[in-house]
Structure 1
Amino acid sequence: MAALQFSPFTSQVSPQLWHQLSKLKIDVLKLSQDSIDLKATYGAGRTIVDRESGKDIGMGCMLSASGDGFLKDRFAPAANVAIASGAVINYNTIEEFKDSNKKALFSQTADQIWASFDTDEPQISRFLLITFADLKKYKFFYWFAFPAFVPADAWTVKESGGLASAESVFGTEKLEKIADVLPAHPSAFLLKECENGTFETAPLSKYAAFFKEVPEDVRTIGFLDPSSDPQSPGWPLLNILAYLFHLTPTHKSHRVLAWRDSVVPAAGSPASAWKSRFATVVASPNSVPGVRPSAVGWERNAQGKLAPRMADLGSSMDPLQLAEQACALNLKLMRWRILPELQLETVADTKCLLLGAGTLGCYVARTLMAWGVKKISLLDSSRVSFSNPVRQPLFEFEDCLDGGKPKAECAAARLKKIYPGVDANGYSMSIPMPGHPIPKEAVAQAKKDVELLEKLIDEHDVVFLLMDSRESRWLPSIIAASKNKIVMNAALGFDTFVVMRHGPRATSFPASHTGIRLGCYYCNDIVAPKDSLTDRTLDQMCTVTRPGLASIASSTCVELLVSMLQHPQGLHAPAPPVTTNAAAASTTADVGANEDGSGGGGEGTSILGLVPHQIRGYLGQFRNLLVTGQQFERCTGCSEKVIQAYEKEGFPMLLQAFNEESYLERLTGLDKLYEESEAALANADWGEQGGNSDEDDF
Structure 2
Amino acid sequence: MLYNTNTLDAFKATDKKALLEKEAKEIWDAIQTGAALKNPSILCRFILLTFADLKKYHFYYWFCFPALCFPDGLKMIQPPVSLEQVFSPRQISALQEAYDSLCKERGITAVPFFLMKYTDDTVQMALLEDWQTFFTDTKKVTVGVYDPCTLSQHPGWPLRNLLVFLAKQWGSKVDVVEVLCFRDRTLQGNRSIQHSVVFQVKLPELPNNSVCPKSVGWEKNPKGALGPRMVNLSECMDPKRLAESSVDLNLKLMRWRLVPSLDLDKVVNTKCLLLGAGTLGCNVARTLMGWGVRRITFVDNAKISYSNPVRQPLYEFDDCLGGGKSKAMAAVDRLTKIFPGVNAEGYNMSIPMPGHPVNFSQTTLSQAQKDVEQLEKLISEHDVVFLLMDTRESRWLPTVIAASKRRLVVNAALGFDTFVVMRHGLKKPPVSQSVSTGTDSSASGSSASSSSSTPAESATGVPGSSLFSNIPGHKLGCYFCNDVVAPGDSTRDRTLDQQCTVSRPGLAMIAGALAVELMVSILQHNEGCVCPMLS
TM-score, normalised relative to structure 2: 0.80
Q: Which residue of 2 aligns with 1:169?
A: 87
Shift of 1:466: 0.7
Q: Which moved more, 1:322-331 or 1:122-131?
A: 322-331
Q: Which amino acid aligns with 1:242?
A: V
Shift of 1:379: 1.0
Q: Which residue of 2 aligns with 1:519?
A: 477
1:263 aligns with 2:263: no
1:210-229 pair list within 5 angstroms: 212-215=133-136, 217=138, 220-229=142-151
Cα pair distance change 1:194/1:304, threshold 3 Å: closer
Q: Which residue of 1 aligns with 2:452?
A: none
Q: Alpha-carbon deviations, 1:450-488, whole Å to 9, x = none? A: 333233223322211111222322332233333322221
Q: 1:130 aligns with which of 23, 26, 49?
A: 49
Q: Which residue of 1 aligns with 2:427?
A: 505
Q: Which amino acid aligns with 2:87?
A: V
Shift of 1:174: 0.6
Shift of 1:552: 1.0
1:473 aligns with 2:399: no
- Structure-2 separation of matches of 1:444 and 1:287: 101
Q: Which moved more, 1:219-228 or 1:466-475?
A: 219-228
1:155 aligns with 2:60: no
- Structure-2 separation of matches of 1:566 and 1:202: 63
Shift of 1:295: 1.0
Q: Which residue of 1 aligns with 2:532?
A: 574
- Structure-1 separation of matches of 2:173 and 2:256: 55
Q: Which residue of 1 aligns with 2:12?
A: 98
Shift of 1:385: 0.9
- Structure-2 separation of matches of 1:199 and 1:444: 93
Shift of 1:280: 4.0
Q: Which residue of 2 aligns with 1:178?
A: 98
- Structure-1 separation of matches of 2:16 and 2:94: 46
1:425 aligns with 2:327: no
User: What SS class does the counterpart of residue 261 from structure 2 fall into?
Assistant: coil
Shift of 1:549: 1.3
User: What SS class does the counterpart of residue 416 from structure 2 fall into?
Assistant: coil
Shift of 1:333: 3.3
- Structure-1 separation of matches of 2:373 and 2:28: 74
Q: Which moved more, 1:180-189 or 1:480-489?
A: 180-189
Q: Which residue of 1 aligns with 2:418?
A: 496
What is the aligned-residue RMSD (CA, Å)? Answer: 3.2
Q: Which amino acid aligns with 1:128?
A: I
Q: Which residue of 2 aligns with 1:462?
A: 384
Q: Alpha-carbon deviations, 1:378-409, whole Å to 9, x = none? A: 11011001121121111111111111100000
Does the 8 Å CA contact 1:257/1:279 hold for their aligned counterparts? Answer: yes
Does the 8 Å CA contact 1:259/1:276 hold for their aligned counterparts? Answer: yes
1:235 aligns with 2:157: yes
User: What SS class does the counterpart of residue 370 from structure 2 fall into?
Assistant: helix
Q: 2:499 aligns with which of 541, 556, 570?
A: 541
Does the 8 Å CA contact 1:157/1:163 hold for their aligned counterparts? Answer: no
Q: Which residue of 1 aligns with 2:322?
A: 402
Q: Which amino acid aligns with 2:43?
A: I
Shift of 1:530: 4.0
User: What SS class does the counterpart of residue 144 from structure 2 fall into?
Assistant: strand
Cα pair distance change 1:182/1:508, threshold 3 Å: farther
User: What SS class does the counterpart of residue 305 from structure 1 fall into?
Assistant: coil
Cα pair distance change 1:431/1:279, threshold 3 Å: same
Does the 8 Å CA contact 2:79/2:199 hold for their aligned counterparts? Answer: no
Q: Alpha-carbon deviations, 1:590-616, whole Å to 9, x = none? A: xxxxxxxxxxxxxxxxxxxxxxxxxxx
Does the 8 Å CA contact 1:192/1:201 hold for their aligned counterparts? Answer: yes
Shift of 1:358: 0.5
- Structure-2 separation of matches of 1:264 and 1:503: 71
Q: Which amino acid aligns with 2:65?
A: F
- Structure-1 separation of matches of 2:132 and 2:435: 78
TM-score, normalised relative to structure 1: 0.63
Q: Which residue of 2 aligns with 1:114?
A: 28
Shift of 1:352: 1.4
- Structure-2 separation of matches of 1:264 and 1:542: 76
- Structure-1 separation of matches of 2:400 and 2:152: 81
- Structure-1 separation of matches of 2:161 and 2:405: 69
Q: 2:332 aligns with which of 385, 388, 412?
A: 412
Does the 8 Å CA contact 1:211/1:219 hold for their aligned counterparts? Answer: no
- Structure-1 separation of matches of 2:335 and 2:519: 20
Q: Which residue of 2 aligns with 1:643?
A: none
Shift of 1:177: 1.3
Q: Which residue of 1 aligns with 2:258?
A: 338
Q: Which residue of 1 aligns with 2:461?
A: none
Cα pair distance change 1:266/1:545, threshold 3 Å: closer
Q: Alpha-carbon deviations, 1:561-600, whole Å to 9, x = none? A: 1122222222122113xxxxxxxxxxxxxxxxxxxxxxxx
User: What SS class does the counterpart of residue 256 from structure 1 fall into?
Assistant: strand
Shift of 1:532: 3.4
- Structure-1 separation of matches of 2:23 and 2:405: 61
User: What SS class does the counterpart of residue 342 from structure 1 fall into?
Assistant: coil
Shift of 1:539: 2.6
Shift of 1:307: 2.3
Does the 8 Å CA contact 2:411/2:424 hold for their aligned counterparts? Answer: yes
- Structure-2 separation of matches of 1:454 and 1:374: 21
Q: Which amino acid aligns with 1:446?
A: A
Q: Which amino acid aligns with 1:501?
A: R
Q: Alpha-carbon deviations, 1:508-553, whole Å to 9, x = none? A: 5735567632222223334444443443332332112222211111
- Structure-1 separation of matches of 2:384 and 2:73: 73
Q: Which residue of 1 aligns with 2:289?
A: 369
Q: Percent identity, please.
A: 49
Q: Which moved more, 1:165-174 or 1:453-462?
A: 165-174
Count of aligned positions: 483
1:190 aligns with 2:114: yes
Q: Which amino acid aligns with 1:569?
A: E
User: What SS class does the counterpart of residue 169 from structure 1 fall into?
Assistant: coil
Q: Which residue of 1 aligns with 2:278?
A: 358
User: What SS class does the counterpart of residue 153 from structure 1 fall into?
Assistant: coil
Q: 2:368 aligns with which of 446, 453, 463?
A: 446
Q: 2:3 aligns with which of 88, 101, 113?
A: 88
User: What SS class does the counterpart of residue 376 from structure 1 fall into?
Assistant: strand
